[in-house]
């Protein structure tokens, strides 16, 4: 098999998205050997290669077509893509790495809304996102670009405020800063080049996306199985969570009896099960969904 027939995925070599990304890929049936000095990994289970890089580099690798998929923060993807004609595409939010790009000011500064940012100097490592956000709100502020240690800029006198990634807010508090506005809600996303690959790589990409959907969504889903009289079926169906997908089968040798299978989003608590039982259900089973293909 030629090297470029293999799908190539870029992930963060180290950092807060690295371990969750490897865990997700493993749940998709991909296994890789990791090493501290390894930048390129081969999967033996599928024709997929893994490129371990800095998160800042992943959007560019996607834009160049050097990788077919990348797991990266939405903030990094949007910062790189701002103003591009054919930027990399966000395919899926992955449910980990949640944070927000927020504007914060020193506690003593009288600033409580977006208009109070007028004429301030704001330090950030996301200058394109911040500049666009300010322009949309017609706020004239100076964007000061820093690559790191953004939160100490007001203390150093190089900026009046900061625009930085926030998770718990502990770093802001430690630097006597308080949030005033949110620029972007970010999370880890699966991204891809603007052009979809064809041939073997395209087929493998579609297969991997189906596996990924199975690995991420069913964790919050349950499979409900029960028996009931057919006369009770409508009452039971009305009690199921919205958007549940159901199948009904006749029970062989027991006229008027049916088996119901229902794919339910979210958990099914005891009270809900007791309601369903009072409506006529028997032999109720709730099973977790580990894997699923539509």
Write the pLDDT tens digit of every residue in 234-286: 999 999 988 788 999 999 999 999 999 998 876 688 999 999 999 999 999 99
What is the DSSP code (8-state) at residue 64?
A: T
Strands 99-106 and 142-145: unpaired
Over residues 53-58, mean pLDDT: 94
Quote the pLDDT of residue 215: 78
154-194 pLDDT, tens per residue? 999 999 999 999 998 899 999 999 999 999 999 999 999 99
Beta 142-145 vs 121-124: how paired, if at all?
parallel
Give the contacts of 120 (CB within 8 A, at least 6 positions apart).
105, 111, 141, 142, 159, 160, 161
Q: Which residue has the tokens 């794919």?
A: 263
List the domains of the chain with CATH numbers. Answer: 3-95+188-216 (3.40.190.10), 99-186 (3.40.190.10), 220-288 (3.30.70.120)
CB neighbours of 214 closer than 8 A, spacing ≥ 6? 291, 292, 293
Q: What is the model's pTM?
A: 0.77
Mean pLDDT to the nearest integer, 66-84: 95
Percentage, residues of the chain above pLDDT 70: 95
Mean pLDDT of 98-121: 94
What confidence score (pLDDT) does residue 267 get? 66
CA distance 100 to 187: 8
Q: What is the pLDDT of residue 10?
A: 97
Quote the percentage of the chain above a pLDDT of 90.
67
Q: What's the average model confidence in pLDDT over 99-114?
A: 93
pLDDT of residue 40 exceeding 80, the answer is yes
In a 3-state reduction of DSSP, which class is residue 239? helix
Provide the pLDDT for residue 214. Answer: 77
What pLDDT does 1 receive? Answer: 41
Amino acid 219: pLDDT: 58
Q: 5 vs 9, which has greater pLDDT? A: 9
Task: Please count the CA atoms within 13 angstroms of the CA of 188 that sit on its side-chain side.
Answer: 21
């Amino acid at each position: 098999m030629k090297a470029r027939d293999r799908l190539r995925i870029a992930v963060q070599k180290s950092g807060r998205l690295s371990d969750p990304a490897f865990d997700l890929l493993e749940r998709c049936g991909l296994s890789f050997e990791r090493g501290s000095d390894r930048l390129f990994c081969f999967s033996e289970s599928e024709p997929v290669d893994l490129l371990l890089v800095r998160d800042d580099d992943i959007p560019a690798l996607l834009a160049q077509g050097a990788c077919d998929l990348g797991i990266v923060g939405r903030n990094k993807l949007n910062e790189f893509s701002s103003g591009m004609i054919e930027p990399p595409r966000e395919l899926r939010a992955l449910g980990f790495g949640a944070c927000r790009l927020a504007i914060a000011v020193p506690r003593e500064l009288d600033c409580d809304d977006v208009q109070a940012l007028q004429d301030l100097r704001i330090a950030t490592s996301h200058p394109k996102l911040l500049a666009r956000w300010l322009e949309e709100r017609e706020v004239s502020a100076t964007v000061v670009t820093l690559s790191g240690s953004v939160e100490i800029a007001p203390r150093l006198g190089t900026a009046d405020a900061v625009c930085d990634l926030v998770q718990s807010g502990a770093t802001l508090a430690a630097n006597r800063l308080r949030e005033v506005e949110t620029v972007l809600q970010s999370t880890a996303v699966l991204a891809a080049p603007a052009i979809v690959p064809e041939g073997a790589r395209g087929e493998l990409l579609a297969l991997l996306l189906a596996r990924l959907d199975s690995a991420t969504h069913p964790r919050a889903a349950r499979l409900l199985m029960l028996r009931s009289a057919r006369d009770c079926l409508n009452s039971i169906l009305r009690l199921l969570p919205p958007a549940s997908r159901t199948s009904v089968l006749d029970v062989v040798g027991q006229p008027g009896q049916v088996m119901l299978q229902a794919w339910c989003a979210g958990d099914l608590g005891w009270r809900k099960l007791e309601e369903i039982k009072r409506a006529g259900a028997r032999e109720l089973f709730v099973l977790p969904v580990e894997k699923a293909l539509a």
